[in-house]
Structure 1
Amino acid sequence: MTINCKGRLIDLSSPKVMGILNSTPDSFFEDSRTQNKSDILKKAEMMLEEGATFIDIGGYSSRPDAENVAENEELKRVVPAIELLVKEFPEILISVDTFRSKVAEEAIGAGAALINDISAGRLDEKMMSIIAQHQVPYIMMHMRGTPKTMKQLTAYDDLVSDITYYFSEKIKEARTLGINDLILDPGFGFAKTTDQNFELLKKSALFSSFKLPVLIGISRKTMIHKTLNISPKKALNGTTVLNTLALTKGAAILRVHDVKEAMETIKLVSLFSK
């Protein structure tokens, strides 16, 4: 359960936290948006001090119904942010949330250590080749369609079986290309209804059969704030509850907006599980 990030072996047998830093004007959780150098540095420094192992930078909002962002615009949002953070925090491990191979390649060149692809290569056929070429850890998420269309693509024969088959095919493709370090993300909120999200969480331990780290990204999502009839801003308590459950199901990485609370959750669950 180790991954190689720029020559550093990161042990995921004990869960780690990935802090979300959105270089976008339209991400669903307003407090995660950073659009100037000062905000980027301040947010990243806070998350690192609170214990984040990874910082996940995104320049393309993948919320439902998100508008398309031109590739050049995504590059302008992401690459300077990476360069800024690597200069200020040389040991930082940056993950880049993109489904575009050109963005991935330029991000790696700027100092990114991982690529987080919501489409697992489906939206850009060159993506996995770029990952194999640079040998960075690759987070493969389950999704149908695109952020614009995914809400209409929630019919499954069997939710968990269908996702398991999807991952088995994607893992085979990645291994054939020689990609070493893979992380699976079941894709909460992506082409899944609220009920399906809870079913997926309940059964997420089944993905341990792949013997790969599993990333869980539930932070402040619709399955929490719509269920509780609150805003994303008030969904921290619900996030902590569901992250606790995710850890009991074997989550190796929690992708979150609130690093301090996630670190506390990991500490308490680890002591409970001894």
Structure 2
Amino acid sequence: MSAAPSSASSASSGATSPASRAWAVAALRAAGCVFAEDEAELLLTAARTPEELTALVDRRAAGLPLEQVLGWAEFRGLRVVVEPGVFVPRRRTEFLVDQAVAGAPRASVVVDLCCGTGAVGTALAAALGPVELHAADIDPAAVRCARRNIGPAGGRVHAGDLFEALPGDLRGRVDVLAANVPYVPTDEVCLLPAEARDHEPLVALDGGTDGLDVLRRVTAGAPDWLAPGGSLLVETGEHQAPAALEAFREAGLAARLAVSEELYAYVVIGTRR
């Protein structure tokens, strides 16, 4: 890829010159970025020099998710830190947060399981006000990243496999248990966009043979951790929703499905009776 126009060739206007903008848009479009103009604006804002712009555009053109290139993602109005190699929070997951807040507006204990960047927990804390916030992930890179987001919200991030990572004194006290589990069937991981397939951890994508392996483990263990009336919320796929609902009911939870057609989001909500 050719270098961005230098400050000298762009009338000393630096990375934000019209020439730099045109170059960035053309380079991103050539790399197959559908929203080249919008992405170029974000990269131009992030770059302090033409050289820095070149480096950012090169990384994006090489296929890295835009959020990993920028170092942040917007999630429910918040700027969430996104480090390289960590699962990028999806906009559709905002629907899970909306459902949690609507269902438990006075929640005091919140857990973000399979937390990735900690976007869900951070957004819940911002919406609910002061809460006891915990998050957990099995991926060390995700734990490090989540601590940058959860920490300022007053929360704690734990490393480990699902409930094994959580402090024992949370048992029976959790009002909102949000779990953005991996739910892509193993045979379909190869069909994901290269951004996800090549640059996000497999453990955050692969949900097993039918995509519901982790969901079933979370659902089976949730009743021991939920407070009376507490809720488990899990995002899933459209075609998996019936089986997910059945797993919730087998665990003894009162289950329902919430759907956002706009975001193409499917959230199974289970309440401890």
Q: TM-score range by the shorter chain?
A: 0.3 to 0.5
Answer 1 or 2: which has greater strand percent: 2
| RCO comparison, higher one (Cα < 8 Å, 6+) | 1
**What TM-score do the two structures reach when normalised by structure 2?**
0.34
TM-score normalised per structure 1 = 0.34
Larger-Rg structure: 2
